[in-house]
Structure formats: C-alpha cells, structure tokens
Amino acid sequence: MKVLKFGGTSVGSIENIQNVKNIINDGEQKIVVLSAMSGTTNTLVTIASAIENKTPEEGVGIAKALQEKYHTVVDQLFNEENLNIDVKNYVNGIFNFLIDLTSENYSLDLANKIVAQGELLSTYMFNAYLKQEGLSAALLPALNFMRIDEAKEPNLSHIKTHLKEEIDNTESADIYITQGFICLDDNDNISNLQRGGSDYTATIIGAAILAEEVQIWTDIDGMHNNDPRCVDGTSPISNLSFDEAAELAYFGAKILHPQTVTPVRVDNIPVRLKNTMDPEAYGTLISSQTPENGIKALAAKEGITAIKIKSGRMLQAHGFLKKVFEIFESYETSIDMITTSEVAVSLTIDDDKNLNKILEELNTIATIEVDTNQSIVCLVGHGIVNHSETFKMFQILQDVKIRMISYGGSNNNISLLVHADDKVKTLRTLHGYLFEPVA
C-alpha cells in the first residue's frame, strides 16, 4: 500500500481538491494524509495568541471570519443538500468548540487543541466530498493511533498496533483518509508534530505499515537545488539519497519537515515528492540509491544563535569540551555547528529557549560571546567534501562575512554561518558560483 500526503495548498482551493481527487482515484488502496487548508493553521495560531495576550474577543472575531470562509467552501463543494447540511453542522461544531475555548486560560495544551482543528476540518470535508463523488473512502481518526512519547518522538510500536486496529475496525475502503500533524502525547493530551508535521505523519505511517512508497504532494515539482522563495532560476532535483534529503530538510528546505525521512530510511521505503498542480512532472525520488557525487542543493536555516566560548588554554585542559557539551545536554539543547581553535570553541544552536541558563553556567568556566540572528547556509551533496567543483564555493568569502565554516563533518554537508541579513545574498551568490555556467 502507498501513503500519499497532500499539503495545505493541495487542499486549499476547490480546483486543487478536484486535482487531488483525480490523483488518488486510480483503483489502488491507499492511505491519504491531509494537512489543514492553507492559511488555516496560521489563523488558528493567531486565535491561540489572542487568548495568550488576554484579548479573547479578538480570537472570537478571527474564528468567526474563518468560519465564514469554510461556509463558502462547503457551499462550493457540496451541491447535495443533505451532505451540505451535514458538513456545515460539523464545521459549526468545530467553530463553536473553538469559540468556547477562547474563554479558557491560556496553556500549551489549549493552544495544541486549537491548532489541531484545521486537519479535523479538512479531512472531514474531503471524506464527505469523495463520497459525494462516488469514491470508496473512509476516515481513520489520527488521534486513535498517532502518539508521541515523553521525548516527543513518535511511539512507533503503539502507532503500528493501533493503526492496524483502526483499519481492521473501519469499513473497508479504497481510500483511507487521515489527519496529518496531530497526535496525542504520553498523557493523552492533543499535541502535534510541529509546524509542517504532516510530512512526518506520512512517513511515520509509511514505516508503520511498511508502505511500498510514501508520496508527498505539494505545490512545487520536487526538491529544488535552492530556495525558490528567494532565488530565481532554481531547478528540481530528480534523485536524492536519504542522507542528502535528511540534510536538506534539517537545514531548512521547507518542502519537507526536518524529520521526514527519519522513519522510512531504515526500511528503505522510497519517498517521492510530487506536484499536485502538475502531476506529470517527475518530481524528486528520495531513496537508498547511491547518488552521483557533487553539490546538489543549497538550503538555509534561520534563527540561529552562535556562542563563542573562550578559555585560556582550551586544548590543554582535558575535559573542557566535555564540560561544555554537558551544559547543553542538561538543557536538552542540540548543537548544529562547531568550530574550534586553541583558545576557543564556537558553536550554534537553534533552540534558544534555555539560552540564558546555558550562558549562566558557561560563564562559570569560560568567557562567552553571543551572536543572535544568524543563519546556517548549507551545501548538500554526496561526497561534496572531495569533489572537484567544490572549491568554487569559497569564492563566497569575497562577497559575504562568514562567521563559521563546518567542512568535513560529513561527506554530504558543508555549512556556513552568516548573519541573517546576508542569508539571501549568500544563497543567490553561491547559486551563481555553483549552478550557473560561466558565460
């Protein structure tokens, strides 16, 4: 069985919903994972923020405006009167629930409940729509099987057993539809797999059922060789290894949630990236095939903090780095880049939740300098560290101030740390040096 995930844009308009119906209507049994309609999760986040900012009446206004939009979509999708009424009742039930929640006190659990509603809406509507169109479809409620553990990692054994049970207890159908993104945590509270998490839901389900393939359908024809939101002339990459895709997703290629390939790589389940608006386009195949050597793509991750830790005679002080790493570990903060010299070590983190406490402890063993608002620009490709074309990247030193370089940590990745203001310039200039032929 295949798992097909459709993102926000793919279910964000009547035309695209019809495209999705045509793509999945091929007679093969499949699981379809849906995101919320585009814009919905962002709007739900603003409702939660209004509650947090103690302006619940603003939250009510935002919810009512979104409800109106859903009524319009329902009227466009459902011409059959009873179905129209049924789906509108469901939509109204969700919005009444949301409006009730605005009178509660803010908590993370409350915010998680609010943002979960987008996927519940899209899947209910889509299931009803497929039925109206005469397709064989059934809903598999994700909250009955998707679960994360205490460490916020997917609990795969729970998911396997409960997903199987859910399928066994559901009327047999060609198309099983489920919600991306949402799950329960180890205390049975509604939680989620972080923004963009529907990709991750699809590969977790792919691993749970040992799917033949996972397909991620979105609004672009596969993984491009640079960020198309800020660089012109990018092009799709036909094949990527799991390692390459994992590096690109982790280092900011928004087309994939950072953890997307983790669940499927051990079982070699291929992941195909496809364009809902152009299903004939090849897209990108992520698999265990050994890829060609050389730089494949650039990506960038924002919101990075660099910390320089200076100690009089670092390398001669046994155990100094160990002490440094233990401090980060005790605050569950992972480190992305590291460079060292005789007297200092510089490293970067992207989660600055516990930065002040970390700095307080580091200050007891060393002198600290902190640079916030940095970006990691990452070059990815099999064997790039030894490739004959890689030298071209170093021309960037003429154009942009580079704060750190990480080279040789793995054969597939070279990372540069630049100020956030230089991110776009770095991506564009490197694109010219690496991918555009010299005239």
Residues contributing to the site for ligand ADP (CB under 6 A): 7-10, 35, 196, 218-220, 223-224, 227-229, 253-255, 299
- C-alpha torsion sign, points 105, 111, 115, 117: negative
Instruction: Pick the closer one to ligand ADP by CB: 300 or 366.
Output: 300
Q: Which one of Mg ion, ligand ADP, ligand ASP, none interacts with residue 224, CB within 5 to 8 A by kind?
A: ligand ADP
196, 206, 222, 283: residue in contact with Mg ion (rule CB under 5 A): 196
CA 381, CA 294: separation in Å to the nearest integer?
5
- Binding partner selected for residue 181 from Mg ion, ligand ADP, ligand ASP, none, CB under the kind-specific 5 to 8 Å limit: ligand ASP
Which residues lie closer than 8 Å to 122 by C-beta, 6 or more apart? 11, 34, 35, 36, 37, 40, 179
Measure the CA–CA gap between 338 and 133, rounded to whole angstroms. Answer: 55
Q: Which residue of 35, 262, 305, 413 would you call a contact of ligand ASP, by CB under 6 A? A: 35
Give the x-and-dash track for 171-200 against ligand ASP (CB under 6 A).
---------xx-------------xxxx--
Nearest one of 26, 7, 40 to 277, comparing CA atoms: 7
Binding partner of residue 3 among Mg ion, ligand ASP, ligand ADP, none, CB under 5 to 8 Å per kind? none
- How far apart CA 123 and CA 36 sit, in angstroms, is 8
* DSSP H stretches of helix in 209-354: 242-250, 262-265, 320-330
Unique residue bearing structure tokens 């002339």: 233
Distance between CA atoms of residues 222 and 244, nearest Å: 14
**Residue 9 near which of ligand ADP, ligand ASP, Mg ion, none (CB within 5-8 Å, type-dependent):** ligand ADP
Contact partner at residue 36 from ligand ADP, ligand ASP, Mg ion, none, CB < 5 to 8 Å by partner kind: ligand ASP
In angstroms, what is the minimal distance from the CB of 65 to ligand ADP? 21
Between 367 and 406, how does the x/- string for binding to ligand ASP read (CB under 6 A)?
----------------------------------------
Task: Give burial (CB, 10 Å; 0-12/13-18/19+) of 174.
Answer: middle
Residues that bind ligand ASP (CB under 6 A): 7-8, 35-36, 41, 118, 180-181, 195-198
